[in-house]
């Protein structure tokens, strides 16, 4: 959005703004992308194809040619050779300069062109009388159209001359880290001294770069940790448990907690006993048993005299939670309220009234839980399942139903550790990295679409043997109505192909009650084959379903495929997931299918997903308001961890230094970050 004060896009200020360059500090931190060696002149006769070098030449002539595009071609020569300079985009001023007899210094790579050796779009300047060669390497800066290296370099020089680059880190810390000072690092990178080699300077672990990377990560961690520190300063009820209810639940379960569940539960219980709000993410692969941890957490709040609420993103999922939790908790004398949009008004109003009066200690539901008229008498804990499915505002809305409630988010989309530390810096994380015993791993098969007949036979045989199957329709992201049409066609086709089986259809456009009815029929095995869109992606738990077919698997993302596959393998029976794909496969689709074929570990898959997509897309950087890293790398785990620890220390012990550091790094870039 252009605002009244924004400079015109094609003015110098506009171009600089596009690069986030406003204050002197922004210019100082605008560091070179790479360096070029202009300390020497290479004779044209020694030019090697593909190797960038500097030549000093004289213009023979220049012309605008049309072959077929309009272009500027200058012929130049030195004592031993000749060369063409070719410009496909050029300014009239450039053409004017290239007059016969003018001496130029030209930098670029020589290629064998149509008319002999040439350089396309070389950097060049007219040699001034008595001009010497630079002593050190020449920095090349990231820039934007219409903004030349020379201009940028001059502006950066001026900024560096004016700026006080005092260190924002205390000297003893800089020493402890074993890094050079920030001022000397920045000046060094803008002006490398003559003795330093290009290879050393461009290496990522060059000390001056290390220091810059550290400072950048520190700024990121500071900006992300600041809300956490503020949160710690707020109050929340200290939930003192009696362990009566939680112990009773543990005794009544037909299984023992896994080690990971026990660990997560202890971490959560410790948070709940603190006088400031918990904000924790419970991550666990599909089937790792997050629900029972949620149940224990809710009972802990109830024991301490508070209410607890659990919100799920879909009606199917919410209902499943409700059924499971009611079955566990009602025998303990705990009433569980059920609140969704599809309830009859009378029932809904009754549930809202009981929650508001504090008569029901636990409420489970969908977005209906955060409607304005829902009020809790004493909400102490808000749990949000599959938190990435909700917007930030919705997530917070539930917690805000209680004054300073504790919050637990649950997710089956594992986030690699470094990412979690950065993007979710405001969350503490517990991980269920262990599946309950007795699971039979799911076999994954990749099958070309042409062999659909064999797959149908397999579904048929499994269902005749008493098992059930999911058939997932092709994903059509661009159009919801097309998606619906495809689902209906798939359904019709399967009904015809499998005449002796009962086939059902569930998709996002069904009314909640209709959806629930289909799911209930599937649970009772009255439907053997369930044709579904991705509405079944999260949470659905039907242990007798041992086969899943995903059509056009190449269109799905990695996280989605992993989630879908997690719907099978929930019983004792050996399960399989068949990924049908259409040929030919694109390169990324092939890479994705290979990952899902080779691994069933959600964390390993998430790491690959991150690698294939990059952090921005993986997490939705735009949404997260995440400062993008220019110099540092999130995969640099050790440095990220160091920055995180020091950010915490600085926020606690030297808040004014933390503020100065943030100002330096992010002060001028806020608008860029919001873009
Ligand atoms: P998710 O983490 O995907 O939400 P659930 O909570 O739905 O997983 O658990 C998956 C299944 O495993 C459920 O049927 C649940 O009752 C069962 N389960 C959970 N914890 C254990 C355990 N420690 N031992 C055996 N089964 C468990
Ligand atoms: Mg779940």
What is the distance of C-alpha 488 from the center of its chain?
Answer: 33
Q: Is 283 in the pocket of ligand 1 (CB under 6 A)?
A: no
pLDDT at 1: 41
Q: Is 320 in the pocket of ligand 1 (CB under 6 A)?
A: no
Q: Is 332 in the pocket of ligand 1 (CB under 6 A)?
A: no
Query: Where is 397: in which H helix or E strand?
Result: helix 392-399
Ligand nearest, relative to CA of residue 414: 1
Distance in angstroms (rounded) separating the CA atoms of residues 615 and 621: 7
Instruction: List the residue whose alpha carbon is closest to atom 13 of ligand 1.
Output: 289
Ligand nearest, relative to CA of residue 317: 2
Residue with token string 């010497």: 132
Q: Which residues of 632-656 are buried (b: 16+ CB within 10 A; e: fewer)?
A: bebebeebbebbbebbbebbeebee
Q: What are the beta bridge partners of residue 82?
A: 77
Q: Is 168 in the pocket of ligand 1 (CB under 6 A)?
A: no
Specify the ligand 1 atom closest to the Cα of 294. 6
Distance in angstroms (rounded) separating the CA atoms of residues 511 and 170: 61
Q: Which domains does the chain have, with CATH numbers?
A: 48-133 (2.40.50.140), 244-432 (3.40.50.300), 442-599 (3.40.50.300)
416 neighbors 606 (Cβ within 8 angstroms): yes
Which residues have their alpha-adjacent CB atom under 5 A from ion ligand 2? 539
pLDDT at 675: 27
Handedness of CA 439, 441, 447, 453 (dihedral sign): negative
Q: Please, which contacts does 273-276 make with residues 24 or more away whose CB atoms are closer than 8 Å? A: 273/238, 273/239, 273/240, 273/241, 274/236, 274/238, 275/235, 275/236, 275/238, 276/231, 276/232, 276/233, 276/234, 276/235, 276/236
Q: Is 621 in the pocket of ligand 1 (CB under 6 A)?
A: no
Q: Is 62 in the pocket of ligand 1 (CB under 6 A)?
A: no
Q: Is 291 in the pocket of ligand 1 (CB under 6 A)?
A: yes
Q: Residue 202 — φ and ψ, nearest 5°? A: -90, 0
State both tokens at 383: 């749990």
State both tokens at 458: 């397999």
Instruction: List the residue whose alpha carbon is closest to atom 16 of ligand 1.
Output: 289
User: What distance in angstroms lies between residue 287's CA and the mean position of ligand 1's atoms?
Assistant: 5
Distances from the Cα of 441 to the Cα of 279, 287, 505, 565, angstroms: 33, 12, 27, 11
Residue with token string 């988010």: 409
Q: Is 258 in the pocket of ligand 1 (CB under 6 A)?
A: yes
Specify the ligand 1 atom closest to the Cα of 284. 2
pLDDT at 398: 77
Distance in angstroms (rounded) separating the CA atoms of residues 478 and 483: 8
pLDDT in tens, 606-664: 888 877 776 556 555 444 444 567 898 877 878 988 998 899 899 889 989 999 999 99
State both tokens at 311: 């919100």
User: What distance in angstroms lies between residue 494's CA and the mean position of ligand 2's atoms?
Assistant: 29
Which are the contacts of 489, defined by CB distance < 8 A and separation ≥ 6?
none
User: What distance in angstroms lies between residue 365's CA and the mean position of ligand 2's atoms?
Assistant: 14
Ligand nearest, relative to CA of residue 291: 1
503 neighbors 528 (Cβ within 8 angstroms): yes
Among residues 155, 131, 502, 431, which one has the least CA distance to residue 281? Answer: 431
Handedness of CA 602, 608, 611, 614 (dihedral sign): negative
pLDDT at 302: 96
How does strand 468-472 pair with strand 503-506? Answer: unpaired
User: Given ligand 1 and candidates 257, 265, 287, which is best to mutate, with the most ligand atoms within 8 Å of its CB?
Assistant: 287
How does strand 138-140 pair with strand 34-36? Answer: antiparallel
Query: Where is 325: in which H helix or E strand?
Result: helix 315-329
Instruction: List the residue whose alpha carbon is closest to atom 20 of ligand 1.
Output: 289
pLDDT at 528: 97
Q: Is 286 in the pocket of ligand 1 (CB under 6 A)?
A: yes
Q: Is 563 in the pocket of ligand 1 (CB under 6 A)?
A: no
Distance in angstroms (rounded) separating the CA atoms of residues 602 and 433: 9
Distance in angstroms (rounded) separating the CA atoms of residues 143 and 33: 10
Q: Please, which contacts does 521-528 make with residues 24 or more away whose CB atoms are closer than 8 Å? A: 522/468, 525/468, 526/502, 527/468, 527/502, 527/503, 528/463, 528/468, 528/469, 528/501, 528/502, 528/503
Ramachandran quadrant class, 579 (left: phi over 0; alpha: psi -120 to 50; beta: rest): beta
Q: Is 405 in the pocket of ligand 1 (CB under 6 A)?
A: no
pLDDT in tens, 24-69: 999 999 999 999 999 999 999 999 988 889 999 999 999 998 877 8
Residue with token string 């390497």: 137
User: What distance in angstroms lies between residue 378's CA and the mean position of ligand 2's atoms?
Assistant: 26
User: Given ligand 1 and candidates 249, 264, 289, 569, which is best to mutate, with the most ligand atoms within 8 Å of its CB?
Assistant: 289
pLDDT at 182: 96
Q: Is 662 in the pocket of ligand 1 (CB under 6 A)?
A: no
pLDDT at 425: 64
pLDDT at 673: 38
Q: Give every residue of the chain whose pLDDT is below 70, as ranges.
A: 1-6, 387-396, 403-404, 416-426, 477, 537-539, 614-628, 668-675
pLDDT at 604: 84
Specify the ligand 1 atom closest to the Cα of 256. 23
Instruction: List the residue whose alpha carbon is closest to atom 26 of ligand 1.
Output: 436
């Amino acid at each position: 959005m252009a605002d009244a004060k924004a400079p015109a896009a094609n003015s110098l200020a506009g171009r600089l703004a596009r690069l986030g360059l406003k204050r002197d500090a922004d210019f100082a931190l605008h560091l070179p992308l790479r360096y070029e060696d202009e300390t020497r002149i290479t004779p044209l006769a020694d030019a090697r194809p593909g190797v960038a070098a500097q030549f000093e030449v004289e213009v023979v002539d220049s012309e605008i040619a049309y072959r077929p595009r309009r272009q500027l071609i200058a012929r130049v020569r030195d004592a031993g050779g000749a060369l063409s300079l070719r410009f496909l985009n050029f300014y009239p001023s450039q053409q004017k300069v290239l007059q016969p007899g003018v001496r130029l210094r030209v930098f670029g790579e020589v290629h064998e062109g149509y008319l002999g050796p040439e350089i396309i779009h070389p950097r060049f300047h007219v040699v001034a009388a008595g001009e010497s060669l630079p002593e050190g390497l020449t920095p090349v800066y990231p820039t934007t159209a219409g903004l030349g290296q020379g201009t940028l370099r001059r502006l950066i020089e001026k900024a560096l001359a004016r700026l006080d680059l005092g260190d924002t880190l205390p000297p003893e810390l800089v020493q402890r880290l074993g890094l050079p000072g920030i001022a000397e690092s920045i000046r060094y990178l803008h002006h490398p001294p003559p003795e330093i080699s290009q290879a050393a300077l461009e290496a990522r672990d060059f000390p001056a770069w290390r220091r810059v990377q550290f400072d950048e990560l520190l700024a990121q961690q500071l900006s992300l940790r600041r809300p956490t520190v503020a949160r710690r300063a707020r109050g929340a009820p200290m939930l003192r448990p009696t362990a009566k209810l939680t112990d009773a639940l543990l005794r009544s379960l037909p299984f023992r907690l896994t080690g990971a569940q026990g660990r997560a539960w202890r971490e959560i219980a410790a948070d709940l006993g603190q006088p400031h709000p918990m904000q924790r993410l419970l991550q666990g692969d599909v089937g790792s048993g997050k629900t029972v941890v949620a149940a224990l957490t809710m009972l802990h709040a109830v024991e301490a005299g508070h209410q607890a609420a659990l919100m799920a993103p879909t009606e199917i999922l919410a209902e499943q939670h409700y059924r499971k939790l009611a079955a566990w908790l009602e025998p303990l004398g705990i009433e569980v309220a059920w609140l969704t949009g599809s309830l009859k008004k009378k029932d809904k109003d009754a549930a809202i009234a009981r929650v508001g009066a504090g008569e029901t200690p636990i409420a489970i539901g969908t977005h209906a839980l955060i409607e304005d008229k829902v009020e809790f008498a004493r909400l102490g804990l808000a749990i949000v399942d599959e938190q990435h499915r909700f917007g930030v505002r919705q997530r917070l809305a539930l917690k805000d139903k209680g004054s300073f409630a504790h919050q637990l988010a649950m997710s089956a989309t594992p986030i690699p550790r470094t990412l979690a530390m950065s993007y979710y810096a405001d969350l503490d994380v517990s991980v269920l990295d262990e599946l309950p015993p007795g699971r039979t791993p799911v076999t994954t098969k990749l099958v070309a679409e042409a062999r659909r007949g064999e797959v149908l036979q397999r579904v048929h045989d499994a269902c005749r043997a008493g098992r059930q199957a999911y058939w997932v329709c092709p994903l059509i992201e661009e159009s919801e109505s097309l998606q619906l049409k495809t689902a209906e066609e798939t359904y019709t086709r399967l009904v015809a192909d499998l005449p002796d089986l009962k086939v059902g259809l569930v998709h996002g456009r069904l009314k909640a009650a209709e959806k629930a009815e289909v799911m209930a029929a599937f649970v009772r095995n009255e439907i053997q084959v369930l044709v579904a869109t991705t509405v079944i992606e999260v949470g659905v738990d039907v242990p007798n379903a041992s086969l899943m077919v995903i059509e056009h698997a190449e269109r799905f993302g990695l996280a989605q495929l992993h989630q879908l596959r997690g719907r099978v393998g929930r019983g004792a029976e050996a399960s399989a997931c068949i990924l049908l794909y259409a040929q030919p496969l694109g390169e990324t689709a092939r890479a994705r299918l290979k990952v899902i074929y080779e691994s069933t570990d959600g964390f390993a898959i998430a790491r690959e997903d991150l690698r294939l997509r990059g952090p921005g897309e993986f997490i939705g950087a735009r949404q997260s308001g995440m400062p993008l890293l220019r110099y540092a790398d999130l995969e640099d785990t050790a440095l990220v961890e160091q920055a995180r620890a020091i950010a915490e220390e600085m926020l606690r012990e030297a808040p004014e230094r933390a503020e100065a550091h943030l100002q330096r790094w992010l002060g001028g870039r806020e608008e860029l970050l919001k873009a």
